[in-house]
Amino acid sequence: MRDKIRILISDKHSLLRAGLLSLFNNHPNIEVIGESVDENDTINKAITLKPHLLLTEILTTKENNTKTISYIKKRIPELKVLVLTMHGSEKYIHAALDAGADGCVLKKDDYQELVKAITNIINGKMYLSSSICNGTIFEYLNINEKHNDNLTNREREIIKLIASGYRNKDIAEFLSISNKTVQKHRFNLMGKLNLHNISGITTYAINNELSYIKGKWKIV
């Protein structure tokens, strides 16, 4: 029998923590082992309670908790971090991921989305909720108009994802298109750029500043 996923909830709002605790109490594979309300409390409990996953908010103040996420990930690299935020803009998502978060879910997302995120992250995958993927996260995929390579916007999106380590099926899921469509775009862009393998695609992406996702983003 698989052990329950041990979660530490960090959020300054007591009602939100209580609501999450109530929801997770009814889940057979999730156990909330602690709650924290500020950065120091979160760090101490992450170290002492040894949760599998930290579910934390992103604050909007100048002294936000992205530094806390970064510190915890360096101190406890095996700890998974899922950010629960009400701010889906590129600014906050980017900050969370750069700090070392393994995924992000919006507070407006439903409970099923949250559980899916937790499960994926515990299984070693990165996770962005569908509302984030369908919204501001595509700001990452925008390419400067200076590139005159005859690629379509979709082909530029795909070359960046390929160079970042995504497989065809992962790209299809990420962009909500079929695997066959991904293969077609891949064939077309390689023909336009006279590239013959992934190494060539990666080199082209780096040379043309199209590489945007760190290695930790690779879907496994």
What is the pLDDT averaged over residues 154-175?
83
Angle at 85 between CA 172 and CA 210, to 5 degrees: 40
Q: Which pLDDT score is estimated for 206?
A: 66
Nearest to 126 by CA among 160, 101, 102: 102
Residue 150: other Cβ atoms inside 10 A: 9
DSSP state of 216: G
**In angstroms, how far is CA 49 from the centroid of its own chain?**
24
pLDDT at residue 209 tops 70: no
Looking at residues 6-12, what average pLDDT do you find? 94
pTM (2 d.p.): 0.63
Identity at 44, one-letter amino acid code: N
pLDDT digits 0-9 by tens, 75-102: 999 999 999 988 766 677 778 888 888 8
pLDDT at 220: 31
| DSSP for 38-65, written as a single string | SHHHHHHHHHHH--SEEEEE---SSS-T
Q: What is the mean pLDDT of residues 127-134?
A: 75
Given this model, what pLDDT does residue 215 score?
40
Domains and CATH numbers, the chain: 5-136 (3.40.50.2300), 142-217 (1.10.10.10)
Say yes or no to pLDDT of 12 above 70: yes
Residue 217 confidence (pLDDT)? 38
Q: Which helix (H) or strand (E) holds 155?
A: helix 153-163
Are 39 and 11 contacting, i.e. CB atoms less than 8 angstroms apart? Answer: no
Q: Can you tell me the distance from the alpha carbon of 82 to that of 111, in angstroms, rounded to the nearest whole number? A: 14
Residue recorded with tokens 């690629």: 151
